[in-house]
Chains A and B, each alone.
Chain A
Amino acid sequence: MSDGTTLPPLSLHIPEPKARPGEAPDFGEMHLSPAGAVQRPAATAPETDLRFYPYQLIRVLDDEHQALGDWDPKLDTQTLLKGLRYMMLTRAYDERMVLVQRQGKTSFYMKSTGEEAVAVAQAMALDRGDMLFPSYRQQGLLVARDWPLLDMMCQVLNNHRDRLKGRQLPVMYSARDAGFFSISGNLGTQFPQAVGWAMASALKGDTRIAAAWVGDGTTAEGDFHHALTFASVYQAPVLLNVVNNQWAISTFQGFAGGERATFAQRALGFGIPGMRVDGNDFLAVYAVTAWAAERARRNLGPTLIELVTYRAAPHSTSDDPSAYRPQTEAAQWPLGDPIDRLMRHLVACGHWNEARHQALTRELDDYVKAQLKEAESHGTLGTSKHSPDSMFEDVFKDVPIHLQRQRREMQEG
């Protein structure tokens, strides 16, 4: 250097997760605010008063399963039981569909195990008219909007009742009537699209808001930043959710920047609120979502929400996580399991018990099985399909001449 000191040569930092297969999981450095410790600001608070939230973790349920602090959304028992039911139904559905894939009745499946509170609590905290732009891991949104499992199953099976005409990979749902945008296989693209929808809603003087989801890994894509820029510039009424489930296939969240800062902190540079919430705490997720939704509805603009959770299942049926992370990691995740935690809270409040829980588990499993039976009666991948002619439809509104010709060519064999 100019003052004569010699520095050691440069060296590149390559992130490394705390534990690999065979090593003990280590979440020691994770900052966990105690339940109830983080105060709830008014939904109308100016962004300048909110800059400390990205460093916190909003939690309501404590280790004794009590709801603490002013983020407690004080939901009635009915609503809590509904939430529990939706989360359990989502899990039962996931479990069953993986079996279906293993039986060769479809090609692929993705579970949301351990992350059910994210989609279910968020769907419940939003209005039915709000528009959802999910990634592939928020099937709970559809479940919580009472969308028929049968319809979802027919998509997964790609049978002739599949409204998407067998065109999409399983779980890439689309449900316009549920306010659920068509899922793209390309990561992150929906994030700025949600902002555009929200901008349009504001342009038209509508009352509806939008919400979008990406994973921790996906925050590295340009589209994540496009979303924040446009949301900030136009103060669009949108909830931008980052589901930090710690992993992106084999890559831990440190490769998306999680070693340096929380994902909620990204909001700071854009001058929008960033909230960081215990994603396995149904009550906290509900409360933060409702807070951000109120803000958006009051025309106070977007919020970035980081939901801290853990991808307990493999990335997909094509993945084997034992090759890259300790097998016991999920069990040692400090924020527990969302279904278990809400269940214990309800038990602690005297609204629920083991027998009822088991009965509900059986009931939902039977329900899923019955729905599946019906879905399979409409065929499974390969045994029933849409006519090959349909392949040429919907590329455009009308089938143009060159596709008409190609269709004829196909028909002639």
Chain B
Amino acid sequence: MAAMNMIQAINSAIDTTMERDENVVVFGEDVGYFGGVFRCTAGLQKKYGKKRVFDSPISEGGIMATAIGMGVYGLRPVTEIQFADYIYPAFDQLVSEAARLRYRSGGEFFAPLTVRSPCGGGIFGGQTHSQSPESMFTHVCGLKTVMPSNPYDAKGLLITAIEDDDPVVFFEPKRIYNGPFDGHHERPLTPWSKHAMGEVPEAYYKIPLGKAAIVRPGEKLTVITYGTMVHVCLAAVEQAQVDAEVIDLRSLLPLDLDTIVDSVKKTGRCVIVHEATRTCGFGAELMAVVQENCFWSLEAPIERVTGWDTPYPHALEWAYFPGPDRVAKALKKVAEA
């Protein structure tokens, strides 16, 4: 075990898989010599050489397309899109190609690629360094979408993603790279070294996709969330003094329906929280599955707390970000309804 922040855990996941499988290759903008603008691939080029870890042209479409081609050859490409906000030029290759290759070829061809991309706001990145576009990918059949909330999960999930034979979009909430940010931007950030999930095995281990984690057991209501919002929700639960069960989905697709349904059937109340914009966000899907599966157990309407349906405004970042106050208010409302 070692104390790792999320960047180190991600680095360790890639390192571990590269060591085990020489077909794992890493490329993307600035990921080679420099080791990535967030340093997630630092040291890997030095260790594995330029043929396995290399820089790419600034062409997200090109990165995704060549990753598909490499995957078809038999490699296991791990690409980085520098910010999730810049993934759209790669959208066609992901949606029309990677996601459907297995289906359209009757299983003859497939694209075992992993796309890593930092997402989310709270770093004063403005509208082009803050987005959470996960629901655009969960809507696409043939893609898996993952978003870890801590170093331990990040490593285990990323190893699974890389070894998965289907394309996986792996979003990394950059606001929690260095610590479990709980939305209290006015307070100093607690580093991962002071958090249980910052203890990460140096060795290989996997966390299955499609398995949620109950990060706080509770009886009064169920909070379904993922990414940075896991920590915001935990802070909000403290603030609202509600005995909530907090579920960290970890992987959005595949989705751990059993954990969700069991919890909501137990509590009868549900709050869904994500940082992404509201309309057609992943919360809409979650509401639908809760309604489909738990309708007769529900004692109150389901609430959503999300980012507003606007671009991420630079100076008004904290008015936009769904912080602990907003979540706590929803928790109380649902608990008391």
Residues in chain A within 8 A of chain B (CB atoms)? 12, 14-16, 20, 107-108, 158, 162, 165-170, 172, 184-187, 217-218, 220-223, 248-251, 255-257, 318, 323-324, 381-382, 385-386, 388, 390-392, 395, 402-403, 406, 410, 413
Contacts and interface: CB of A to CB of B under 8 A. Distances in A.
Contacts, number: 128
Contact of A257 (B57, B308, B325): B57
A381 B126 CA distance: 12
A273 B297 CA distance: 71
B241 interface: no
A107 B74 CA distance: 43
B310 A395 contact: yes
Interface in B282-337: 308-311, 313-316, 319-320, 325-326, 329
B86 interface: yes
A366 B29 CA distance: 40
A172 B278 CA distance: 26
Nearest to B315: A166
Contacts of B86: 186-187
B126 A406 contact: no
A218 B124 contact: no
Nearest to A381: B315
Contact of A14 (B51, B59, B309, B319): B51
Contact of B51 (A12, A217, A381, A382): A12
B129 A169 contact: yes
11 contacts: A14-B54, A20-B33, A167-B311, A168-B314, A220-B57, A251-B29, A255-B55, A388-B319, A390-B316, A395-B310, A403-B310
Interface residues of B, number: 42
A16 B50 CA distance: 9
A257 B129 CA distance: 27
A218 B60 CA distance: 11
Given A16-B50, A391-B319, A413-B329, A406 B309 contact: yes
Chain A at the B interface: SS class: loop
Given A169-B128, A220-B62, A221-B89, A158 B314 contact: yes
Given A166-B314, A250-B34, 14 more contacts: A14-B54, A14-B55, A107-B124, A185-B126, A186-B128, A220-B59, A223-B89, A249-B29, A249-B30, A385-B315, A391-B319, A395-B309, A402-B279, A402-B309
A101 to B, nearest CB: 11
A243 B62 CA distance: 21
B37 interface: yes
A282 to B, nearest CB: 28
A184 B128 contact: yes
Given A108-B124, A388-B319, A391-B316, A222 B59 contact: yes
Nearest to B128: A185
Contact of A403 (B34, B61, B309, B319): B309
B313 to A, nearest CB: 5
A168 B125 CA distance: 9
Contacts of A20: 33
Contacts of B54: 14
Given A108-B124, A323-B34, A402-B279, A251 B55 contact: yes
B85 interface: yes
Contacts of A248: 29, 58
The winner among A108, A255, A413 for most chain B CB atoms within 10 A is A255
A12 to B, nearest CB: 6
A323 to B, nearest CB: 6
Contacts of A381: 124, 315
A395 B312 CA distance: 11
Contacts of A220: 57-59, 62
B85 A185 contact: yes
A222 to B, nearest CB: 5
Contact of B315 (A158, A184, A185): A158
Interface string B29-57: 11011100100000000000011001111
A265 B33 CA distance: 28
B96 interface: no
B323 to A, nearest CB: 11
Given A220-B57, A406-B309, A249 B325 contact: no
Contacts of A386: 315-316
B127 interface: yes
Per CB-CB distance, the 10 closest pairs between chain A and chain B, nearest first, are A185-B128, A166-B315, A169-B126, A220-B57, A250-B34, A388-B319, A107-B124, A158-B315, A220-B59, A14-B50
Nearest to B308: A406
Nearest to B50: A14
A205 to B, nearest CB: 34
Contacts of B34: 249-251, 323-324
Given A255-B55, A391-B313, A168 B308 contact: no
